[in-house]
């Protein structure tokens, strides 16, 4: 039930976000990361990846505005293919003029609100 | 479609059944009707006729336990329908016969006599070391580039002793209160000696935690002081730093660049770009590339690094790598059904790790080797694998003189398209990567050539691992040997040279070293 609620919220955020103008967006980093914020980002990336569970660094989006997601990385094993031909998914943290943080998928341009996180343009670091 | 074996004395009854089956499969009405017929005609579908194979599509998605709901990989409803273990085995049998690189080395077995797991294990050549399965649900899990669960200490097994090969910065292992370093030895884990075979599972689980927040205690013998130290570490999601050391060594004959490259992860694009830029600005004339712990990853990264070493003059008009499938598919990729095309050298950035795309890659201007082409020294170990080996092979393919210093590489020129069926993802080798001159047969690994007949092997020396010295220090065994070779054109006395005169003695010694270097923990990681 919790997952359904989360996915619904994310979907609503996606719909709302998609209708916003693209102008005034800047690359951003998080001002701080907490377990709650990390969970929110994990849920977004998981939902954006058709439900495939995402593993993220504890400092995700704190040093860089981009997030590279590699597919086919089982979490409970050290098995890796090691000859990879496909490309990773690239997400970017951006901030709008009014200070709203978004995650954007660079290929599809889909965007998701971040409700719990605060961010700042990367050049303010 | 060919279904008749070439040398078969026609067995009319057998073929009449096959033809009848084909009629059922292909000759009936709509797609839905076909599916219905397939579902209801196991008695025809599941008979085994040795060396006769129907297309795998006839058996795909016919499952013992069909999945319902949405396939996360395609975002479409699962196509699974009710089937039997024989259907699943028949899918694997036909799929392997069609796409497996060594399909003609598979001994055809009756699929009704084996479980699915056991049957898949039969569908391989005896020499194939890379044949495995994974639950699809887990296989589809994703991860931030370079992030894995652990302590940030990379273990290495040397003669059944567990040492720290290197550490990741900002990890539990490098926390100031713990401060684990290269060369430190793990004596006990949670009070269990690491050589306690009866408890090897517990030791392995503690060394390689599968989830964050697992706490374990380690008895560590420090490299420098030889004192024992008890440390407690809690696992975390660790971000790998794929390039940790880039340095320029000044010599009387010009600057030598050293560059430790540990993982072809997506985020390494910027790191290797910066490393080559730095070394180029320092006017290096020789490069020592340390790949001893690099077990592979993104081919695109390997491609870029190869170009940056060789430069535009020597890569122009050449290819980095070409996929070669089995002889049923000389021109078309059997998985994608697209024409097989050589992969050219990448001369620009892709745009990973905060880099813009289409930026010209830097390249080096290295000293020429004995063959009149640029030369590069590559430090290797048993864990040098896959994409790392493709760097060596691709350089050799364009005549760049590779001087290999270290131990034999893992030997994985192969690749596969993971194939899901009924919730299991199957990994069966479908192609090998060949270089610009068509070579890709290094399944025994790259090792310094012992005679002039081994033209596809690098020059160089077999040199043992030396965890007692820090990586990048000029007195570390392999780096020291590379510098010695650079000065003298020969291997140091404590190594094995490429000398033709020493073939017999060196072969024996080489085998001994390789056995000693076998890494029981990391060997499962490299696939």
pLDDT of amino acid A51: 82
Instruction: Return the higher-pLDDT residue of B192 and A124.
Output: B192
Integer Cα distance of A104 and A81 in angstroms: 28
Q: Are residues B86 and B189 in the same domain?
A: no
Within-domain flag for B137: no
Within-domain flag for B425: yes
Q: Are residues B341 and B416 in the same domain?
A: yes
Find chain B residues with C-beta within 8 A of A81's C-beta.
296, 386, 416, 418, 427, 527
Determine the distance in angstroms separating the CA of A63 from the nearest CA of chain B, rounded to an integer.
Answer: 11
Q: Are residues B220 and B249 in the same domain?
A: no
Query: What are phi and psi for residue B231, nearest 5 degrees?
Result: -125, 145
Within-domain flag for B2: no
Q: Are residues B252 and B229 in the same domain?
A: no
Determine the distance in angstroms separating the CA of A81 from the nearest CA of chain B, rounded to an integer.
Answer: 5
ipTM over 0.90: no
| B81 SS3 class | strand
pLDDT along chain B (527 residues), means of 10: 32 38 34 36 68 96 95 88 97 98 97 97 95 91 89 93 95 96 96 91 92 96 91 94 96 98 93 97 98 93 97 97 97 95 95 83 97 97 95 98 96 92 96 96 93 88 94 97 96 65 33 28 29
Nearest to B266 among A54, A68, A82 (CB): A68
Q: Are the Cβ atoms of B141 and A69 closer than 8 angstroms?
A: no
Lowest mean pLDDT among A18-22, A120-124, B288-292, B499-503: B499-503
pLDDT confidence bin for A23, thresholds 50/70/90:
low
Q: Are residues B53 and B178 in the same domain?
A: no
Q: Are residues B118 and B159 in the same domain?
A: no
Query: For residue B437, what is the domain's CATH number?
Result: 3.90.226.10
Whether B297 and chain A come into contact, CB under 8 Å, resolves to yes
Q: Are the Cβ atoms of B297 and A73 closer than 8 angstroms?
A: no
Integer Cα distance of B493 and B256 in angstroms: 22
Residue ranges making up the domain that contains B457: 243-524
Within-domain flag for B26: yes
Q: Which two tokens stand for residue B416?
A: 């596969």
Residue B340 burial (C-beta neighbours within 10 Å; 0-12, 13-18, 19+) = middle
Q: Are residues B510 and B459 in the same domain?
A: yes
Last residue of a domain, one of B239, B272, B290: B239
Find chain B residues with C-beta within 8 A of A64's C-beta.
353-354
pLDDT tens by residue, A76-96: 655 555 677 778 899 999 999
Nearest to A68 among B141, B352, B524 (CB): B352
| DSSP bridge partners of B433 | B323
pLDDT of amino acid A80: 52
Within-domain flag for B483: yes
Among B466, B461, B463, B513, smallest CA distance to B491 is for: B461
pLDDT of residue A28 exceeding 90: yes
- Number of structural domains in chain B: 3
Q: Are residues B297 and B373 in the same domain?
A: yes
> Which residues does B126 contact at the CB level (< 8 Å), separation at least 6?
B105
Q: Are the Cβ atoms of A57 and B237 closer than 8 angstroms?
A: yes
Determine the distance in angstroms separating the CA of A48 from the nearest CA of chain B, rounded to an integer.
Answer: 10
Within-domain flag for B3: no
Within-domain flag for B141: no
Q: Are residues B349 and B477 in the same domain?
A: yes
Q: Where are the alpha helices (DSSP H) in B46-123?
A: 85-99, 116-122
Secondary structure of chain A as H, E, C letters: CHHHHHHHHHHHHHHHHHCCCCCCCEEEEECCCCHHHHHHHHHHHHHHCCCCCEECCCCCCCCCCEEEEECCCCCCCCCECCEECCCCEEEEEEECCCCCEEEEECCCCCEEECCCCCEEEHHHC
Among B214, B194, B212, smallest CA distance to B202 is for: B194
Q: Are residues B402 and B496 in the same domain?
A: yes
Which residue do the tokens 């965007």 mark? A111
Q: Which two tokens stand for residue B150?
A: 């652990």
- Number of structural domains in chain A: 1
* CA distances to B211, B271, B419 from B174, in Å: 19, 21, 39
Q: Are residues B453 and B501 in the same domain?
A: yes
Within-domain flag for B39: yes
Question: Helices (H) and strands (E) in chain B — how many of each?
Answer: 13, 25
pLDDT confidence bin for A24, thresholds 50/70/90:
confident
Integer Cα distance of B520 and B162 in angstroms: 10
Q: Which of A56, A82, A125 to substitute to test the interface with B, most B CBs within 10 Å?
A: A82
Q: Are residues B156 and B83 in the same domain?
A: no
| B473 SS3 class | coil
Last residue of a domain, one of B183, B213, B239: B239
pLDDT of amino acid B34: 37
pLDDT of amino acid B138: 87
| DSSP bridge partners of B260 | B245, B290
Q: Which of B144, B264, B414, B427 to substitute to test the interface with A, most A CBs within 10 Å?
A: B144
Residue ranges making up the domain that contains A13: 2-124
Give, for B280, the enclosing helix (H) or strand (E).
helix B268-281
């Amino acid at each position: 039930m919790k997952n359904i609620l989360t996915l619904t919220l994310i979907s609503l955020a996606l719909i709302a976000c998609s209708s916003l103008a693209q102008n005034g967006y800047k690359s951003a980093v998080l001002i701080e990361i907490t377990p709650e914020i990390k969970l929110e980002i994990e849920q977004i990336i998981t939902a954006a990846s058709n439900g495939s569970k995402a593993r993220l660094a504890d400092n995700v989006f704190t040093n860089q505005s981009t997030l590279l997601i590699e597919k086919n990385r089982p979490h409970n094993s050290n098995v890796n293919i090691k000859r990879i031909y496909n490309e990773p998914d690239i997400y970017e943290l951006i901030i709008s003029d009014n200070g709203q943080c978004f995650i954007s998928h660079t290929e599809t341009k889909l965007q998701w609100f971040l409700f719990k996180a605060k961010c700042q343009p990367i050049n303010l670091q | 479609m060919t279904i008749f074996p070439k040398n078969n004395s026609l067995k009319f009854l057998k073929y009449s059944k096959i033809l009848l089956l084909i009629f059922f499969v292909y000759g009936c009405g709509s797609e839905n009707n076909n599916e219905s017929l397939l579902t209801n005609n196991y008695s025809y579908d599941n008979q085994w006729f040795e060396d006769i194979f129907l297309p795998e599509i006839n058996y795909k998605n016919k499952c013992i336990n069909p999945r319902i709901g949405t396939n996360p990989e395609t975002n479409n409803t699962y196509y699974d329908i009710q089937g039997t273990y024989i259907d699943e085995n028949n899918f694997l049998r036909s799929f392997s016969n069609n796409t497996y690189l060594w399909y003609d080395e598979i001994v055809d077995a009756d699929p009704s006599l084996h479980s699915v797991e056991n049957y898949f294990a039969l569908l391989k050549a005896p020499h194939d070391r890379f044949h495995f399965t994974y639950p699809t649900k887990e296989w589809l899990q994703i991860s931030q580039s370079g992030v894995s669960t652990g302590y940030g200490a990379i273990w290495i097994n040397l003669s059944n002793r567990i040492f720290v090969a290197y550490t990741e910065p900002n990890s539990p292992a490098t926390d100031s209160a713990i401060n684990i370093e290269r060369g430190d030895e793990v004596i006990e884990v949670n009070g269990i000696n690491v050589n306690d075979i009866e408890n090897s599972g517990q030791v392995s689980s503690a060394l390689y935690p599968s989830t964050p927040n697992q706490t374990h205690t380690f008895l560590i013998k420090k490299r420098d002081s030889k004192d024992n130290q008890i440390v407690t570490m809690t696992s975390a999601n660790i971000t790998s730093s794929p390039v940790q050391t880039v340095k320029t060594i000044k010599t009387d004959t010009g600057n030598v660049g050293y560059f430790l490259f540990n993982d072809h992860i997506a985020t390494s694009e910027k790191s290797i770009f910066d490393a080559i830029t730095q070394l180029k600005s320092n006017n290096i004339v020789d490069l020592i590339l340390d790949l001893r712990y690099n077990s592979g990853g993104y081919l695109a990264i390997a491609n870029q690094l190869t170009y940056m070493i060789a430069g535009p003059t020597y890569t122009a008009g050449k290819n980095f790598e070409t996929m070669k499938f089995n002889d049923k598919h000389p021109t078309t990729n059997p998985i994608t059904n697209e024409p097989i095309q050589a992969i050219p050298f990448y001369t620009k950035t892709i745009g990973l790790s905060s880099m813009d795309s289409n930026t010209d890659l830097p390249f080096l201007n290295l000293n020429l080797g004995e063959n009149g082409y640029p030369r590069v020294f590559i430090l290797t170990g048993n864990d040098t694998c896959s994409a790392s080996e493709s760097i060596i092979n691709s350089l050799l393919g364009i005549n760049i003189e590779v001087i290999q210093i270290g131990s034999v590489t893992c030997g994985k020129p192969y690749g596969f398209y993971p194939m899901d069926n009924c919730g299991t993802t199957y990994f069966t080798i479908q192609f090998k990567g060949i270089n610009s001159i068509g070579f890709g047969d290094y399944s025994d690994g790259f090792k310094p050539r012992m005679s002039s007949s081994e033209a596809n092997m690098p020059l160089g020396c077999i040199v043992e691992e030396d965890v007692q010295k820090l990586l990048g220090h000029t007195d570390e065994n392999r780096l020291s040997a590379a510098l010695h070779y650079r000065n003298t054109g020969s291997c140091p006395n404590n190594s094995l040279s490429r000398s033709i005169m020493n073939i017999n003695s060196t072969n024996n010694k080489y085998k001994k070293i390789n056995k000693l270097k076998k890494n029981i923990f990391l060997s499962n990681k490299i696939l």
